[in-house]
Structure 1
Amino acid sequence: VNEDLLKTFAYTARGELAPINAVIGSVAAQEVTKACTGKFTPLFQWLYFDAVECLPEDTEKLYQGDCTPRGDRYDAQVAVFGRDFQDKLGKLKYFIVGAGAIGCELLKNFAMLGVGAGEGGNITVTDMDIIEKSNLNRQFLFRPWDVKKPKSETAAAAVAKMNASVHITAHQVRVGPETEHVYDATFYEGLDGVANALDNVEARRYMDRCCWHYQKPLLESGTLGTNGSVQVVVPHLTERYTHYQAPSEKPIPMCTLRNFPSAIEHTLQWARDMFEGEFSQAPETAKQYLTGMRKMEEILKLPNQQDVDTLVILKSALVDDCPRSYADCVAWARRHWQDQFQNQILELLHYFPPDLRMSNGAPFWSGTKRCPHHLVFDAENELHLDYIYAAANLKAEVYGIRQVRDRLKTKDLVAGVSVAPYLPRPKLKTTTHAVSDQMEKLSLSNLLEVIPPPESLTGVSITPLTFEKDDDYNMHIDFIVAASNLRAANYNIEPADRHKSKRIAGRIIPAIVTSTALVSGLVSLEMLKVTQGHKDIARYKNSEFNLGLCRFCVVEPEPAEENTYNEVKWTLWDRFEVEGELTLEEFLQHFKENHGLEVTMVSAGRFTIHSTLIPKTERNRRRTMKITDILKEVMQEASKDEDHATADDPQRGESPQWGTSQQSDVNQQRAQGGPLLGAVLMLDLCADDRQGQDVDVPHVRYSVSR
């Protein structure tokens, strides 16, 4: 008999923890669902679950703490951890990023545990989304009357009803570089930890970078149907979130989307791309031109024929297809229908006839290549009219024209639209964007002649649309469904109903409340370990599970990898601390004298401050300059090129990692050349050790006095 375990069990048997209930309850609820539906694999054995690692590393603390009941809501967990630890939970300051399915469950568990319910404690939750009807089945803090309300504020109000003692602050702010004036160094340095409840990898990586920068614990989790995972990141102990690279979604080849679709997923992606191109990207380009954000001289400097692409878009948006009335919008929709579902198919068959054979004698149209057929417009066909009705109203919304939600009137208008007959083009382009088809006819000079200056278009107002799947009134899904099913009809693909189309095109990840309850319970258990400050990595657990298959995998986190320079061991959590502004010469000398390193390159994000590859005269000039002055200069020189590239490639590069600066201030100062406002910079180094070998070294935390 393990007497220590038996003694521990005896001392904690009277206790009860909300996260344990969430874990066991979610498994039990999934089993009930299996019994009712006959779906998935039932649990047909004993299931044991324990979280003994949550208890203090020194078990003697269990027997010495004050576990006396006081008749309050925390007596059950005080019986496990003691009153001192309960007080510690109350003083915690946690940041929950996201108030969706997992966020709601985390807020509930944290409130039940008393996190942020004591003096000085607080939970900050942020989510910029509003509640939609489709959220209600799994985001249990919301009710039907909460639809269209902010998620964060509504969730905070619901939590306050559960535990009125919890101090909770609700924000509707996106986490990202653009909001670093809200979530700055003062904010992060006051936190005890961060719990992610996000639905995209980009935001997760950003939060991981912030937690690494400010040395804060990160509790990461996610679900996909009955699958779920939990990862705990502990400073100076485990690897970061980005150490674990999840497989990315495989994109559909462009040639498949444009010419050879074989599944409804292909036609839906094609329709979604069409929506983005016609109602979001092209209008955004035109709007930037109209408002002066992109001037003609800047467009002409774009590389790789991007200037011609952009001018073709402007010609279409401001000249050829610029409507003045709803009737114009209907006419545009009819011509667009003709081009997409008849002319382009006839063009494809003109060059690849149905009886075409390859050099080996095999038919070209075989395997996954479905031979298409063109459609003939019929206003009596509901699907044909669906497309015209949705496309015309979306076009009207983009141009600020009053919409007409009257199918009969739209039907009458489309009957009066004439379309040009199909004429084969001299050359087929099978992999380029649709606008490229016009490049052969219009030279750059022709385009410049027909595009009017912005000041002559004062009556034109353009508002790009942002795809929103959950608003049934905005006609976004109506357009996607109609376009996809018409495309499917071209290729004899089984059409999809509105529900399936919405799920695929909206990239809705099926989520169920049992999975979210389980991950939030496991996250909350890891939070208890982090709060106690466990130093033994074996006590922390990363988890993966599939409730549908009754598969549970619990492993220890990967320890932070150790590196060495000059016999000094370090991990990704270590950094060099440099206090106060230095010249480049002083900076380089500091590392040579104090760390035995010959620095060969210094950079901040993608901006190079010092490099042995820079011409010697320029290196010598910079040596007497302060680090921030060099960075200012480099950023200012790069700003013009970046401004050209940003509109076409918003993912280009990373900005320097700032500790307290507002990103907008950084952008302004980059353009104006004024003093940088950040108090802390994260710098990267390349360096040689005492033996002259190139070695990896920690980042530099460069603190600048204001």
Structure 2
Amino acid sequence: MSSKMNIDQTGSGTIDEGLYSRQLYVLGHEAMKQMSQSDVLIIGCKGLGVEIAKNVCLAGVKSVTLYDPQPTHIEDLSSQYFLTEDDLGVARAEVSVPKLAELNQYVPVSSTPQLSIQDLKKYKCVVVTETSLSKQLEINDFTHENGIAFISADSRGLFGSVFCDFGPEFICTDVDGNEPLTGMIANITDDGTVTMLEETRHGLEDGDYVKFAEVKGVPALNNGQPHKVEVKGPYTFSIGSIDVLGGSAATGGIFTQVKMPQKLAFKSLRESLKEPDYVFPDFGKMLRPPQYHVAFQALSAFADTHNGALPRPRNDADAGEFLQLAKKIGTSFDSQLELDEKLLKEVSYQAKGDLVSMCAFLGGIVAQEVLKSTTSKFFPFKQFFYFDSLESLPTSVELSEESCKPRGTRYDGQIAVFGAEFQQRLSSLNQFLVGAGAIGCEMLKNWSMMGVATGEHGHIHVTDMDSIEKSNLNRQFLFRPRDVGKLKAESAANAVAIMNPSLTGKITSYQERVGPESEGIFGDEFFGNLSMVTNALDNVEARLYVDRRCVFFEKPLLESGTLGTKGNTQVVVPHLTESYGSSQDPPEKSFPICTLKNFPNRIEHTIAWARDLFEGLFKQPVDNVNLYLSSPNFLETTLKTSSNPREVLENIRDYLVTDKPLSFEECIIWARNQFEKFFNHNIQQLLFNFPKDSVTSNGQPFWSGPKRAPSPLTFDINNRAHFDFIVAAASIYAFNYGLKEETDPALYERVLSSFKPAEYTPKSGVKIQVNDSDEAPEAAANSDKQELKSIADSLPPPSSLAGFRLTPADFEKDDDTNHHIDFITAASNLRALNYEITTADRFKTKFVAGKIVPAMCTSTAVVSGLVCLELVKLVDGKKKLEDYKNGFFNLAIGLFTFSDPIGSPKMKFNEKEVDKIWDRFTLPNFTLQNLIDHFSEKEGLEVTMLSSGVSLLYANFQPPKKLAERLPLKISDLVEQISKKKLEPFRKHLILEVCCDDKDGEDVEVPFITVKV
């Protein structure tokens, strides 16, 4: 089955799901189709303009055209990562085109040396940066009149501005960006009252629309027509009388929320300047947008009177002139507005500043707005968005006109804001980046522009155990198609060293997972020398481990993550904030086992079942066979420790004897037998145990509510779902045995047409688990030790199969040639047909079975920008909670929330207050007796229990003889003795957990202990 959909992108008639898969799960195929037909013009190719262009190219529009005839200046290199010193004097657009074109083979990129107003008719969206207000007005007057989306954006130091105008009649097809709500229905009464099954909340609001499927009794409800909702309660809603649909009542079925298009009217820029509508990014700064509305107009007015030049850094004369312009504009705009002169002067001071962090943040936002304009998906900005990160301004260095003046270096755009002394601090950082995927690539790019670790003593360490795959290229922008198969960390390090040659020799890449197994590499000395740690990880377990290491070594941690259009950032500051591990997300939702095994009612249930079936057919049994052949004590261990030894032994017998194929034809026969077993025989047995007219002990129909009565499937070679299952199953089974896969349909038809399935007679006495609380049927089957021994005795001895091994199928969702997703799709859909559940296509099945995290390059850019704004604060050494910001955003709806981090919790013992997370007792390698005495004499605490990991070193209730043996031992010797393991040579500290009683004999909570060894 092909992985490509018939959607036109560049005239080829297809869209490359292998490349766009993660983004497709955010936008969907229809939005991607619209985007692939949209031409975009971007004016201005400094840092912000090229960041927008980069994200738009990666997303996959039809084409991108650049306009920027200005020559490259040295200060442009502060944020424009495609420019080098060799490009000085060359037009910025000309340099950027070939490098942007490398990002996506499906998106042609070009530049135009001249641009007239009439030329704008070619484009679906026009983005304007680095352009005077008068020119913006001229362009917007034309775009507004001609139905062309217009976005203007500027980055000025720690200040940013975005304006959107999508015309007077813009249709938004998805206003909230959320997955449509869905739920199971118990019944629908004649007046249209819908009651949810088993008191599950529907989550709908008045005015929402829903459609129905699988409703019994009123077939017309299943026609896909939307019905307006009136909420009656958390478990009921009304759609109005259903008499007109030919029914008086209906039962069962599923509702799905329908996103109804909404028409939005945008004002032109000329109108909006007088009557602005604001998007508020920070509710703690609600009064600032009007100030910035005046300030950015004043900057343009200043540039108009100074031949395009902006106010000089920290120059009071320029700031005074700027302030007068702002007052004049402010009076004409709003006579009641009281200007904040201190704030406005800061805008003037930083106007020439060009920070890559702000460009990343604003560039991700603007690119998402471009995608909204071309797809009509998600709610756009209405209409002005002003942002500042003044908290990032250093306070530990003197900022003056002298310290912020240009030096003729690539960092001048950053020095204009932070000063030369602070630039030196950035160059001396020793950074550890954990992960070189989407966020990691953006972080390295930002660091290279900032000059992080470029100094004599600076260094960047980056680790990632993965290699580059095609699906990474859509959002991990340091990689190109030629890099597929290479190591991520190494490739990313090489890429940013090209962007900033000063990083050559300043980056060390690793392929190790950061965990207990790599503490010999990332150990005490390594962490001790770090300035801070930045996580760019995609799993919670690794994040928690890094967090624990940062707490132990008292290192700041910058944490972030994305999910589709959403993103979050967290800053962890030693002795100030809580750690990442202080709060955790709720566990991932799982399905009851009995539901998956026997009573599915949703396609997600059948996909989960099919995913387990994949493991149960092609992975677990194969691993067991290989262990049996290679491990002498495997059978003995299995009989003692396995929860289902019978299944393990039967698998080995079947895979080595009963079902061992010698040809691909036999693999087809095996697959055909699996079809009978899972989609016919097992269903017959279930219905034998629980016929369709069964009732419960309460007299209620057994097959009711969430329980759907299934029907066996009869194999039909002409049914595509049936045939797909055979092809996928036979191919993976052949892979297990190293047999050559056959693709000739005639071979399948010949083998299958001659196959005669055995008649199946349901058996009495077969137990079927009805509830999760019931004993699993395997428990009884595994209790017959004699039968288990008989199966074990029937296995061929490993010596008779010397050198023979099977190849397990390790699930890989992104390889379209391995049949893994094909098998799961086919198996899931066949089971869905058993239970009359609406089937799912390969695309959705891959999403659910592969647990794919939807991703957008836009969100990644925004996250990286916010993280780097916090990095600056850490380098500055800010000491107050309110100086730092944890952030959350959802680009789909233009939502941004920023909050102060939560402070680290405190605890007390013997009137002494300590930090619960960051404080610890640091002790030498005492004897156990010395340690106990130390706590008694120095802290007034009685040690009642002491442990190291899972090893209990001391407890006051232990026998006196054991205590007498342990008390004279040094802690390191005691740990080695109890754990029966020598301490690794690289380990310089031991972490001990201690329980103590205070002076009053009360149990108290105290910090952990670190022992230097």
Code of the aligned partner of 2:360:
A
Pick from 134, 139, 149 the counterpart of residue 476 of structure 2. 139
Code of the aligned partner of 1:699:
F
Verify the 8 A CA contact 1:226 1:547 in the aligned structure 2.
yes
Partner of 2:379: 41
Question: How big is the shift at 1:51?
Answer: 0.6
Residue aligned with 1:63, SS? coil
Partner of 1:409: 747
Tell me, yes or no, if structure 1 residue 578 matches structure 2 residue 923.
yes
For residues 407-556 of structure 1, the aligned pairs below 5 Å read 407-425=745-763, 426-430=765-769, 439=782, 443-556=787-900
For residues 77-476 of structure 1, the aligned pairs below 5 Å read 77-166=414-503, 167-292=506-631, 295-302=634-641, 305-425=643-763, 426-430=765-769, 439=782, 443-476=787-820
Partner of 1:563: 907
CA displacement, residues 482-509 of structure 1 (integer Å, 9 cap, x when unaligned):
1111111111222222222111211111
Partner of 1:654: none
Verify the 8 A CA contact 2:524 2:986 in the aligned structure 1.
no
Question: How big is the shift at 1:417?
Answer: 4.7
Question: How big is the shift at 1:357?
Answer: 2.9
Code of the aligned partner of 2:620:
Q
Partner of 1:30: 368
Against the structure 1 CA distance between its residues 65 and 342, is the aligned structure 2 distance closer, same or farther, given a 3 Å change threshold? farther
Tell me, in whole angstroms, the C-alpha distance in 2 between the residues paired with 1:628 and 1:464.
42
Question: How big is the shift at 1:4?
Answer: 4.5
Against the structure 1 CA distance between its residues 697 and 332, is the aligned structure 2 distance closer, same or farther, given a 3 Å change threshold? same
Partner of 1:590: 934
Question: How big is the shift at 1:78?
Answer: 0.3
Against the structure 1 CA distance between its residues 243 and 306, is the aligned structure 2 distance closer, same or farther, given a 3 Å change threshold? same
Question: How big is the shift at 1:440?
Answer: 7.2
Verify the 8 A CA contact 1:312 1:447 in the aligned structure 2.
yes
Partner of 1:645: none
Residue aligned with 2:682, SS? helix
Against the structure 1 CA distance between its residues 616 and 402, is the aligned structure 2 distance closer, same or farther, given a 3 Å change threshold? farther
Tell me, in whole angstroms, the C-alpha distance in 2 between the residues paired with 1:145 and 1:78.
36
Tell me, yes or no, if structure 1 residue 57 matches structure 2 residue 395.
yes
Against the structure 1 CA distance between its residues 694 and 319, is the aligned structure 2 distance closer, same or farther, given a 3 Å change threshold? farther
Tell me, in whole angstroms, the C-alpha distance in 1 between the residues paired with 2:964 and 2:919.
31
Tell me, in whole angstroms, the C-alpha distance in 1 between the residues paired with 2:759 and 2:453.
70
Tell me, in whole angstroms, the C-alpha distance in 1 between the residues paired with 2:697 and 2:998.
61
Verify the 8 A CA contact 1:132 1:148 in the aligned structure 2.
yes
Pick from 980, 990, 1011 the counterpart of residue 681 of structure 1. 990
Against the structure 1 CA distance between its residues 276 and 434, is the aligned structure 2 distance closer, same or farther, given a 3 Å change threshold? farther
Q: Which has the higher strand share?
A: 2
Against the structure 1 CA distance between its residues 437 and 261, is the aligned structure 2 distance closer, same or farther, given a 3 Å change threshold? farther
Tell me, in whole angstroms, the C-alpha distance in 1 between the residues paired with 2:382 and 2:893.
11
Verify the 8 A CA contact 1:400 1:461 in the aligned structure 2.
no
Verify the 8 A CA contact 2:907 2:914 in the aligned structure 1.
yes
Question: How big is the shift at 1:548?
Answer: 1.1
CA displacement, residues 628-671 of structure 1 (integer Å, 9 cap, x when unaligned):
333233324xxxxxxxxxxxxxxxxxxxxxxxxxxxxxxxxx3x
Verify the 8 A CA contact 2:523 2:987 in the aligned structure 1.
no
Tell me, in whole angstroms, the C-alpha distance in 1 between the residues paired with 2:983 and 2:882.
50
CA displacement, residues 115-143 of structure 1 (integer Å, 9 cap, x when unaligned):
12222222222222222222222222223
Against the structure 1 CA distance between its residues 570 and 322, is the aligned structure 2 distance closer, same or farther, given a 3 Å change threshold? farther
Verify the 8 A CA contact 1:308 1:439 in the aligned structure 2.
yes
Question: How big is the shift at 1:47?
Answer: 2.4
Against the structure 1 CA distance between its residues 418 and 596, is the aligned structure 2 distance closer, same or farther, given a 3 Å change threshold? farther
Code of the aligned partner of 2:996:
A
Question: How big is the shift at 1:702?
Answer: 1.1
Partner of 1:660: none
Residue aligned with 1:48, SS? strand
Tell me, in whole angstroms, the C-alpha distance in 2 between the residues paired with 1:488 and 1:15.
59
* TM-score normalised by length of structure 1: 0.89
Question: How big is the shift at 1:405?
Answer: 4.2
Against the structure 1 CA distance between its residues 245 and 438, is the aligned structure 2 distance closer, same or farther, given a 3 Å change threshold? same
Tell me, in whole angstroms, the C-alpha distance in 2 between the residues paired with 1:315 and 1:599.
56
Residue aligned with 2:581, SS? helix
Question: How big is the shift at 1:418?
Answer: 4.9
Verify the 8 A CA contact 2:524 2:987 in the aligned structure 1.
no
CA displacement, residues 530-569 of structure 1 (integer Å, 9 cap, x when unaligned):
1111111111000111111221110000111011122222
Partner of 2:268: none
Tell me, in whole angstroms, the C-alpha distance in 1 between the residues paired with 2:640 and 2:695.
44
Partner of 2:355: 17
CA displacement, residues 588-638 of structure 1 (integer Å, 9 cap, x when unaligned):
2222222222111111122211123433332332223332333233324xx
Question: How big is the shift at 1:435?
Answer: 6.4
Against the structure 1 CA distance between its residues 482 and 577, is the aligned structure 2 distance closer, same or farther, given a 3 Å change threshold? same
Verify the 8 A CA contact 1:429 1:437 in the aligned structure 2.
no
CA displacement, residues 563-594 of structure 1 (integer Å, 9 cap, x when unaligned):
112222211111111123x3322222222222
Verify the 8 A CA contact 1:288 1:294 in the aligned structure 2.
no
Verify the 8 A CA contact 2:646 2:781 in the aligned structure 1.
no
Residue aligned with 1:239, SS? coil
Question: How big is the shift at 1:201?
Answer: 0.9
Verify the 8 A CA contact 1:385 1:411 in the aligned structure 2.
no
* TM-score normalised by length of structure 2: 0.63
Tell me, in whole angstroms, the C-alpha distance in 1 between the residues paired with 2:927 and 2:555.
31
Partner of 1:655: none
CA displacement, residues 212-237 of structure 1 (integer Å, 9 cap, x when unaligned):
12221111111111111101111111
Question: How big is the shift at 1:238?
Answer: 0.7
Tell me, in whole angstroms, the C-alpha distance in 2 between the residues paired with 1:368 and 1:56.
60
Question: How big is the shift at 1:329?
Answer: 3.0
Against the structure 1 CA distance between its residues 422 and 568, is the aligned structure 2 distance closer, same or farther, given a 3 Å change threshold? same
Residue aligned with 2:502, SS? coil
Code of the aligned partner of 1:600:
T
Against the structure 1 CA distance between its residues 599 and 434, is the aligned structure 2 distance closer, same or farther, given a 3 Å change threshold? same
Question: How big is the shift at 1:163?
Answer: 1.5
Residue aligned with 2:921, SS? strand
Tell me, in whole angstroms, the C-alpha distance in 2 between the residues paired with 1:498 and 1:454.
40
Code of the aligned partner of 1:248:
P
Tell me, in whole angstroms, the C-alpha distance in 1 between the residues paired with 2:756 and 2:460.
62
Verify the 8 A CA contact 1:312 1:435 in the aligned structure 2.
no
Tell me, in whole angstroms, the C-alpha distance in 1 between the residues paired with 2:392 and 2:453.
19
Verify the 8 A CA contact 2:767 2:777 in the aligned structure 1.
no
Against the structure 1 CA distance between its residues 183 and 319, is the aligned structure 2 distance closer, same or farther, given a 3 Å change threshold? farther
Question: How big is the shift at 1:19?
Answer: 0.9
Pick from 986, 999, 1011 the counterpart of residue 690 of structure 1. 999
